[in-house]
Structure 1
């Protein structure tokens, strides 16, 4: 037969089990974090007679105060988790001997998830002078179990939300990459001229990039082309570059002189980038009848030009500073030349020639010069470059976007 004392203990155990089951059921109903914390406050205050509560959780590489009840702002501000609470590593370390900053509390409960501390709960009584066993001490294990249930739920909820955000971002990035790839013309979409062979290559480092090229048919015998690189990486650079492409398409005509075009582009970049980014650009126009090439290099890596008559390489450097560096470009030097037959031109972004090797960044233009210096068709040169890029990617040497346009003057 159960004694009165045994009956009382059994009744207490049943009450505690019911409380745990209620909390677990609430968690399984997938309530919001705010609703769960509100229910936790009511449980502590009304059912367990605990009136002072502080809950800290670790997320995004910092400790945050998740819940505060019955605690003044001054008390809360005096507590430093790293200095005052980090010492409580295991359940056995739960103690009533605290640093001075914790004198208003009766116990510290460390909380764990997968053997890693993810939270701390500080608790104290409603009335410090009440008689009998402190509710904090009496319900310590129960509070510990409930706190762990709730904090682990919150941690899992955060992880779930983070995964959902990552998936949404991944889908957005994939959509942005598809849109960007549609904006940048591939070999099949390039203009066709009888005495000009055109090739192009684009490889963003992270799905979307800040590199850009375009080849535009301005008239039956005039062609416009450009290659550009936005400072920085990621979505911001890609958005700026997409806007930049639309601007070039709207301004670049068969009759506009290149200095006027570059001044207008500089104005638009300043308006769009708000002095936060700049664009390096190589832009040119070629007349297939007169074989005249006009270009401006706005702070970009100088393209490599192979003179088919002199059998020599020159770098196309004439131009100005990059777009968006100043409100007004003070001086523009226009490059002009007549292109001999069997000449070739390669314009590229720095991702093709700046490589990471042995934790050092090396710039290697010599290999490109060697490829273009051979009297092979431009299509063979491009195939050789693509093979080389694939090797560099496998080696892990490429760390930036790559864009390249190649022109063979027949």
Structure 2
């Protein structure tokens, strides 16, 4: 069994379904945008020190504390120019890391402090992603970006954001999500938004099963109709593993596996927020062996000090994941993307499988 090298992991085509735009800024960009807009709240104006601060602050083991770090990134993203720049750089950074398709999400309602309309915000981000795609292609690392628009579950704007997602679905917006603190803000508070999206044949995922347990997952699937689960790590609470390694699935876990509901798992983030105690104790390996529709994601690259390559690297170290495992996880993600079927198939047949064959993986 060959555990891939860091260079093999970097070169391997990767697909990312769960990445937050305001959680993936370059530290230097945060510093420069703060200076440009007069934002004075940064803990440091030295990019290296600031990058360390974000990671250390996010390592608290609390989802609430983790979410507080976003006050600084959101604070410097209140202008059209900032949104274009951050989106373009996100596309470039992901492409450099070997990501060939990514769905990047953000909550438009968070970027209105400077007077931007929701439509202006979406248009700016889409312009940035298009520019980033052009730069990546010119550098020989083509990438395609789809956007997910988030509504903040503690606010009351989910119907408005759902309508926005539908309005721009032919302009690069791939779907909808709800984000923010799970405890006390169940997905059922947003039923009108989910019903509207279903009526419009629009795609949506739901953050569930991260800070809150199985009821969060059940509500997201059965009450709201989620196509994917953002994180979903707590589905492991419904699986009993015997001393001999055999596993018995509860009703909910069986349903999630039987229905092939994708799990947008973010190992580093799950440790940072306290959803799991360590990478070694993360249920992703158990879920992979049980053939759940598992995918690997970054969540917040700045706060996690991470990338897709780093996520696969820590999983290879902890569980011995091979290139074949990487390909399986990547195909899971591509099959689960909010793209038309023929476009997913083209990326699988023309980009992903050939990329792994170039690394010597046959079959």
Confirm or deny a common fold (TM above 0.5). Answer: no
Using the size of structure 2 for normalisation, the TM-score is: 0.26
Q: Which has the higher contact order (CA 8 A, sep 6+)?
A: 2
Using the size of structure 1 for normalisation, the TM-score is: 0.24
Q: Whose helix proportion is higher, 1 or 2?
A: 2
Q: Whose strand proportion is higher, 1 or 2?
A: 1
